[in-house]
Amino acid sequence: MSEKMNVESFNLDHTKVKAPYVRLAGQKKGTHGDEIYKYDVRFMQPNKEHMEMPALHSLEHLMAELSRNHSDKIVDISPMGCQTGFYMSLINHTDYDDVLIILEKTLLDVLEATEVPACNEVQCGWAASHSLEGAQELARNFLAKKTRMATSFRGIVCKNIYSLAGMC
C-alpha cells in the first residue's frame, strides 16, 4: 500500500485488525451541515473467515429493520462484499458509545426474532437465500466478544477523528 486510494477501506491494513470491532470508517459533511458517520462493523477476521451468504443476508435484513427501533439516526446498514462485516451509517450522530449500544440492542433483538423481515420474493432480490438460525449464531458470537470489541477502537476513533472536532 504505497499510494493512498480513494476508498477508505482499501487504505486499511486488514492484516493488522482484530475482529470483532466497530470502527469509524468515514465522515462526510453535507452542504447544509448534516454529517454522515460510517462505521465498519466487523464480525469476522479479514482473510481468515467469512459469513456464509444466507446468514449474512438474513442478518442484514434483521439489522436494517430492527436497528431503526433504537435510533432514528440510522441511514443504512450494508453488508461488505468480502462477507466479513457491515457498514452502518448514521446521520448527525457522533456518540461512539451510543452506536455500540444501538448495535448491541439490535443484535439482542436478532436473538429474539422468530422470522427474517421482508424474506419473500416481493420484498427481497434473493428470497431463497436466508437463514434465521445462521443470523442468530452470528449475532450471538459477536455479542459474546463485545467487551473486547467495545474497547478496540474507542481510543483510535477519539484520537484520529473526534479530536479534530474538539470532541475528545
**Distance separating alpha carbons of residues 23 and 69, to the nearest angstrom:** 22
Task: Write out the three cell numbers for 66.
Answer: 430492527
Cβ atoms of 27 and 36 closer than 8 Å: yes
Report which secondary-structure segment, H or E, holds 35: strand 35-42
Check the annotation: does 124 bind a ligand: yes
AA identity, residue 70: H
Three-state SS string over 117-164 comes to CCCCCCCCCCCCCCCHHHHHHHHHHHHHCHHHHHHHCHHHHHHHCHHH
Task: Write out the three cell numbers for 3.
Answer: 499510494
Check the annotation: does 168 bind a ligand: no
Check the annotation: does 61 bind a ligand: yes
Report which secondary-structure segment, H or E, holds 91: strand 85-91
Cβ atoms of 78 and 64 closer than 8 Å: no
Which residues participate in the annotated binding site for Fe cation?
A: 57, 61, 124
Which residues participate in the annotated binding site?
A: 57, 61, 124
